Amino acid sequence: MKPHHPIAIVAFGAMVGVVGVTVVETSAAWGASEQGVPLSQIVTETAAYLVTDPAAGPTAPPLPAAPVTQESAPELVLALTTRLQWVGSLDAPTSAWTPAITGALKNFQDKQGLKRSGEANLATINRLVTVAGNGSLDPRCLEPGIRLCVDKTQKVTRYVKDGVVIRVMDTNIGPEKGDEKFGQYSSTRKGVSKIGEKQVNAVSSLYGYSMPYWMQFDGGIGFHFSKYFSQVGYKDTSMGCTTLRSKADAKWLFQNTPKRTKVVVYS
């Protein structure tokens, strides 16, 4: 694959997802064929239903602009955790405070550039209400079949099958305004694309950067695992690729995504 958008070669590129790359095969593909990779048993995955009708309005108790703590009323804890689920930071809502809520708050704060306190303070509540909205998905994600839905604001990728969210994966994206060091296309562009080339072990010809479970969908932009995610977190360090925090997520996504699957990128 030839570079789609030539960009300067810099040492920093070895740490990040890249745009306009050429990838080379370093081992046999994961049983891939021209028809794509057969789906595994997704019924074993936890399915989370989100609101599918934006006009229906919120389906959770209102969340006032005030901190929520372990001593807060159960309905406030439920309102908080429902929205944490909506943004992909918590598996399921609850009205009783648990350690998982603290972890979910830290996850959300990381993604939004807030202080990683694990507390539902006013700044976190205000941002959560804005980012969660009413829990609805982009309508293009609700079409029949499989859709990979990348929410640039929530910084997650959702694997959606027939309108049902099967898996939610922490994702980093390119900086919204791009970066002049890497080219104007370092921003992960919004729109609908299709999965093209897939390689289990891909390597960037520009940077020599390993990109396990590579799945291309927009020129030189694609999904892949990044071993540097744990170091750089959600800072604007991707040059456009949708990098996945978890290698297990990247492998699962690779195995369960046939070629030509639609990818919806929105914010």
Domain ranges (residues) in the chain: 11-44+137-266, 54-132
Alpha carbon 187 to chain centroid, angstroms: 15
Written as six digits, the tokens of 213 are: 């479970």
Written as six digits, the tokens of 51 are: 């609101």
Better pLDDT: 215 or 186: 215
**Which pLDDT score is estimated for 14?**
31
Whole-model pTM?
0.79
pLDDT over threshold 60, residue 157: yes
Mean pLDDT of 76-100: 96
182 — pLDDT class (breaks 50, 70, 90): low
CATH of segment(s) 54-132: 1.10.101.10
Q: Which of 1-10, 78-87, 96-105, 113-122 has the lowest mean pLDDT?
A: 1-10
**Which pLDDT score is estimated for 237?**
59
- Give the whole-number percent of the chain exceeding pLDDT 90: 59
Mean pLDDT of 256-263: 98
Q: Give SS3 for 139.
A: helix
pLDDT over threshold 80, residue 45: no
11-44+137-266 fold = L,D-transpeptidase catalytic domain-like (2.40.440)
pLDDT over threshold 80, residue 171: yes
Can you tell me the distance from the alpha carbon of 239 to that of 184, in angstroms, rounded to the nearest whole number? 9
187 — pLDDT class (breaks 50, 70, 90): confident
Average pLDDT, the chain: 79
**Residue 54: count of CB within 10 angstroms of its CB:** 13
- The one-character DSSP state at 112 is H
- The one-character DSSP state at 191 is E
Can you tell me the distance from the alpha carbon of 191 to that of 265, in angstroms, rounded to the nearest whole number? 5
Q: Please report the beta strands in 5-145, taking only residues with DSSP state E, as ranges in sequence order.
A: 23-25
